[in-house]
Amino acid sequence: MFQSLYPTESVESVYNYDFEAKYREGYRGIIFDIDNTIVVHKTDQTPESLAFLARLRDIGFGVLFLSNGCERRVKSFADPVGMKYLYRAAKPNPKSYRKAMELLGTSPETTLFFGDQLFTDILGANRAGIPSVLVRPISRREDPHIVLKRPIERIVLAFYKRNCRKTACAERAAEKLPG
């Protein structure tokens, strides 16, 4: 019923994800949502995020930030690390994800997407055929339009967890999901 909203996997944080293993598996591009995925909503780069993104570059990944936000916000986040970005991306429109892969020089088979929202981030990545990784939101501080979606997301996540248990997929993922 909600399969198009189900992530390929879910994690507590991007900061403890095994990116080295994904690189060995052949992934070369990573597309990130910014707010509540890498940093608290509407905040700038932190020392932790700067070190994290430098680590990804050292591994060999191409990184692009995909955001529905305005250019000023996304550019100010991407410029300090010299990474690519797309703003006003109209997520979940799969065209934005395809454009991101074009800019990275990757394909759905060699790209990962990380985001904290089912109805924009995960749905768009799934529609574009990219493996999607749901990240637990860093903070509860969010815009009202996002806060209003979270209760509906919890319902979808309950079905996802039940589906994971039935199919023995990622029991650890089901435990880490909010709700």
Per-residue pLDDT of the chain (179 residues; tens, 9 = 90+): 567 778 989 899 999 999 999 999 999 999 999 988 998 877 888 999 999 999 999 999 999 999 999 999 999 989 999 999 999 999 999 999 999 999 999 999 999 999 998 888 999 999 999 999 999 888 666 566 565 666 667 766 666 677 666 555 544 444 455 54
pTM of the predicted structure, to 2 decimals: 0.81
For residues 19 and 55, the answer to whether their CB atoms sit within 8 Å is yes
Q: Is the dihedral of CA 83, 89, 94, 98 positive or negative?
A: negative
Q: What DSSP designation does 128 have?
A: T
Q: Is the dihedral of CA 27, 32, 38, 44 positive or negative?
A: positive
Residue 17 — left, alpha, or beta (φ > 0 → left; ψ -120 to 50 → alpha)? Answer: beta
Q: Which domains does the chain have, with CATH numbers?
A: 3-176 (3.40.50.1000)
Tokens of 115: 């985001």
